[in-house]
Amino acid sequence: MVRFGLTVVRHGETRYNKDKILQGQGVDEPLSATGFRQADAAGLFLSNVKFTHAFSSDLLRAKQTAAAILGKNRFCKDLEIKYDARLRERKYGVAEGRPLADLKAMAKDAGEQCPSFTPSGGETLDEVRERARDFFKFLCQLAVELEQKEHGKPGAPGRSSGTSGEQFVFPWTNHCSEAEPSSQGSGSCTVLDANILVVSHGAYMRNWIGHLVSDLNCTLPANLTKSQLSSVSPNTGVSHFIIKLENGNLLKPNITCVCLNQDSHLVDVGAECVASKVF
């Protein structure tokens, strides 16, 4: 059984987010002062989580957020961030750099609605989902290869020998950053093969989570509402998943969503940050 943790964070706020202007891929804005505060807050929130890998969109707002998060981490300050174009925001074509209201007007003129409407030169939702599907498959393959490599080491410890420590506890659950609670409920933990941080974008993340739920039957928290599932994450909203691959089978991952678009770390940053959900 291959197991890995996946923590997905939306980038911090930019001035275009605040002004409700579409960025997509063609507008590469840096974080605003508020965005940097949000990223620092997310970093503090995740500061005790020991990540084994970090990936980020190669757009500036995501790169700056990923760097800020790891900069606050007790264990991973020097962890290499790998930038991947598959994590970029949805491409909005002619609508990039224009107000969100313009996109809605374009959709209305075309007899369609957002977000399914695709402006000229933009990506369809299916194209975005294909990018997300490809990247998730890549992560699963990475975890399988790591497990195989570790399993092949002489004297490698059994999975049941994993132990939990206070310094590894996730901020939202009793999960351990390198482990998950055992089914026996004894407090012992089962070692994860990888614990991965991903920093990306609002519309992309919504589409990716849609893939995990609709296509891969991800198990969701019991208290999650339909509107919460369909909402765009707030800036630096945090989602966490545990993925299990029986016999390394990449086609049938068992996915559990531990939390979705968690934003409690933003309470002290300012109310406007929590409410900023424009993609």
Catalytic residue annotation = 11, 89
Q: For residues 257-276, b (16+ Cβ closer than 10 Å) or e, as one string?
A: bbbbbbbebbeebeeebbeb
**Is 98 one of the annotated binding-site residues?**
no
**Is 204 one of the annotated binding-site residues?**
no
Residue labelled with tokens 């990449």: 250
**Is 50 one of the annotated binding-site residues?**
no
**Is 131 one of the annotated binding-site residues?**
no
| 145 Cβ contact list (under 8 Å, min separation 6) | none
**Is 133 one of the annotated binding-site residues?**
no
Question: Per DSSP, what are the bridge partners of residue 122?
Answer: 92
Identity of the residue numbered 63: K
**Is 11 one of the annotated binding-site residues?**
yes
Alpha-carbon separation of residue 69 from 30, 149, 270 (angstroms): 15, 28, 18
Residue 204: exposed, middle, or buried by beta-carbon count in 10 A (0-12, 13-18, 19+)? buried
Q: For residues 159-174, b (16+ Cβ closer than 10 Å) or e, as one string?
A: beebebeeebebbeee
Q: Which of 105, 118, 110, 120 is nearest to 207 (CA)?
A: 118
Q: How many residues are given for the chain? A: 279
Q: Which of 164, 181, 253, 172 is nearest to 212 (CA)?
A: 253
**Is 90 one of the annotated binding-site residues?**
yes
**Is 89 one of the annotated binding-site residues?**
yes
What is the spatial distance between Cα 170 and Cα 176, in angstroms, rounded to a whole number?
6
**Is 17 one of the annotated binding-site residues?**
yes
Query: Can you list the alpha helix ranges (DSSP code H) found in the chain?
Result: 15-18, 33-45, 60-71, 100-109, 125-151, 202-210, 226-230, 271-275
**Is 16 one of the annotated binding-site residues?**
yes
What is the spatial distance between Cα 58 and Cα 25, in angstroms, rounded to a whole number?
10
Annotated binding site for substrate: 10-17, 61, 89-92
Annotated binding site: 10-17, 61, 89-92
